[in-house]
């Protein structure tokens, strides 16, 4: 059984920002059919900042911890800052992840990026195409 850091256990046992945002500005989904993890991120944007970030994750403890950490790291950040959240940074913030669980940090960062790109795409579609 993999050994998890205190941060991973804390975010798994007490995940932050779980849930859905009504009428989100962007939604991003990312999944890994092989391991069965599925993450959905919802964002609210105000003045180019992530005013709120929520997620729903179906997956292992590491996937839940990663989603929680990504949502915490992204909240209050500008869109540009949030897009710089990489899987490596997420794993470091969590005190490391076992090698066979590192893919979970990819999913979290990718789901957030998809939500931001979804928002930017809608914004662009509303203005100039």
Total domains present in the chain: 1
Q: Which residues constitute the domain of residue 92?
A: 6-118
pLDDT at 127: 60
Q: Is 126 exposed, middle or buried (0-12, 13-18, 19+ CB in 10 A)?
A: exposed
Averaged over 43-59, what is the pLDDT?
Answer: 97
Residue 55 lies in a domain: yes
- Active-site amino acid positions: 35, 104
Distance (Å, rounded) from C-alpha 23 to C-alpha 14?
A: 25
pLDDT in tens, 85-129: 999 999 999 999 988 888 888 899 999 999 999 999 998 888 644
CATH number at residue 10: 3.90.1010.10
CA dist 32 → 10, 74, 84, 95 (Å): 23, 22, 22, 23
DSSP 25: S
């Amino acid at each position: 059984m993999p050994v998890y850091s205190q941060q991973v256990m804390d975010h798994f046992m007490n995940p932050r920002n779980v849930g859905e945002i009504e009428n989100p500005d962007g939604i991003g989904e990312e999944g890994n059919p092989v391991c069965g993890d599925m993450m959905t991120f919802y964002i609210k944007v105000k003045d180019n900042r992530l005013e709120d970030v929520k997620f729903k994750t179906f997956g292992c403890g590491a996937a839940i911890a990663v989603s929680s950490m990504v949502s915490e790291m992204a909240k209050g950040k500008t869109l540009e800052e949030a897009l710089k959240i990489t899987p490596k940074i997420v794993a470091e913030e969590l005190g490391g992840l076992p090698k066979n669980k590192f893919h979970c940090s990819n999913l979290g960062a990718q789901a957030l990026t998809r939500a931001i790109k979804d928002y930017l795409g809608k914004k662009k579609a509303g203005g100039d195409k």
